[in-house]
C-alpha cells in the first residue's frame, strides 16, 4: 500500500440523527441526548438513546441515535435494512433529503412520522485541508479507493469532504464493508479520479 495515499476506513452501522423537535417527541419535553461514546469525527458521539424504526414490511429495534442534534432528522440505513423495512432509500450525501422517503420512529415517550429523511449515505472521506493538499484532492471531488485482501475491491464514487475539524477517515455502510471483508483498522489506497465535483453537502 502506498502510505502517502493511505486512507483509514470505518464501517457506519445504521443510525439516526435527530432534530430538537423530534428528540422531545421521542424522549420527552426538555430531553437532552446522553453521550455514550465518541466517534471518529471530533464533536460527534453515539448516544445512550435508541429508537425503533418501523417500515411498511418490518421494524428494526434499538437503532442508535447519534449526536449532536441536527437541523433535520435523518435516518441512515444499508440496502439490507431497506429490504427488511420495505423502503427504497436513495444514495445521498448527508443532509440532501429532498425526494427521500419517510418512515416511523418510535421512542419511549412518543412517535415521529417522518415525511422524508431516509437515505443510504453516499460513501465518503472526511479530511482536513492539509490532508486534501497532501493527497491532491479538493472538497466535494469524487474519487476511488482500492482495498486489498482476499475480497479486494475498488470503491468508486467516494465523496471527499474537507473541513478543518475533520479527522481523516472513509465511511462505508455495513453492506459495503462486508462485501470487502473489512474489519477494525482497515485501510485503503486513494485513487484520484477526474470525476465532477458534487453539489455542496450539508454537515
pLDDT digit string (tens) for 1-19?
567 789 999 999 999 999 9
* pLDDT, tens digit, 9 for 90 and up, residues 31-68: 999 999 999 999 999 999 999 999 999 999 999 999 99
User: CA 126, CA 156: separation in Å to the nearest integer?
Assistant: 16
The reported pLDDT for the residue numbered 198 is 55
95: pLDDT strictly greater than 70: yes
- 150-164 burial code (b ≥16 CB/10 A, e <16): eeebebeebbbbbee
Provide long-range contacts, Cβ within 8 A and 24+ apart, for 20-23.
20/69, 22/73, 22/105, 22/112, 23/69
Q: How confident is the model at residue 197 (pLDDT cuts 50, 70, 90)?
A: low
| Mean of pLDDT values over 63-82 | 98
Domain ranges across the chain: 3-10+123-191, 13-121
Domain range 3-10+123-191, CATH class:
mainly beta
Return the C-alpha cell found at 182. Answer: 473489512
pTM of the model: 0.90
Three-state SS for 85? helix
Q: pLDDT averaged over the chain? A: 93
> What's the mean pLDDT in 79-90?
97
Closest CA to 176 of 8, 6, 12: 12
Amino acid at each position: 500500500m502506498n502510505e502517502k495515499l493511505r486512507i483509514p476506513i470505518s464501517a457506519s452501522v445504521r443510525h439516526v440523527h435527530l432534530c430538537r423537535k423530534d428528540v422531545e417527541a421521542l424522549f420527552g419535553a426538555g430531553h437532552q441526548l446522553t453521550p455514550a461514546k465518541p466517534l471518529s469525527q471530533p464533536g460527534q458521539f453515539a448516544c445512550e438513546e435508541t429508537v425503533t424504526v418501523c417500515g411498511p414490511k418490518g421494524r428494526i429495534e434499538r437503532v442508535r441515535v447519534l449526536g449532536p442534534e441536527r437541523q433535520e432528522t435523518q435516518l441512515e440505513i444499508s440496502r439490507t435494512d431497506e429490504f427488511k423495512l420495505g423502503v427504497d432509500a436513495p444514495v445521498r450525501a448527508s443532509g440532501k433529503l429532498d425526494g427521500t422517503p419517510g418512515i416511523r420512529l418510535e421512542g419511549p415517550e412518543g412517535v415521529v412520522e417522518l415525511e422524508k429523511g431516509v437515505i443510504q449515505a453516499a460513501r465518503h472521506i472526511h479530511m482536513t485541508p492539509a490532508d486534501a493538499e497532501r493527497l491532491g484532492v479538493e472538497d466535494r471531488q469524487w474519487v476511488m479507493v482500492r482495498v486489498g485482501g482476499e475480497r479486494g475491491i475498488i470503491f468508486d464514487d467516494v465523496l471527499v469532504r474537507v473541513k478543518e475539524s475533520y479527522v481523516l477517515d472513509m465511511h462505508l455502510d455495513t453492506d459495503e464493508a462486508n462485501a470487502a471483508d473489512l474489519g477494525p483498522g482497515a485501510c485503503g489506497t486513494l485513487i484520484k479520479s477526474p470525476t465532477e465535483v458534487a453539489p455542496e453537502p450539508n454537515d
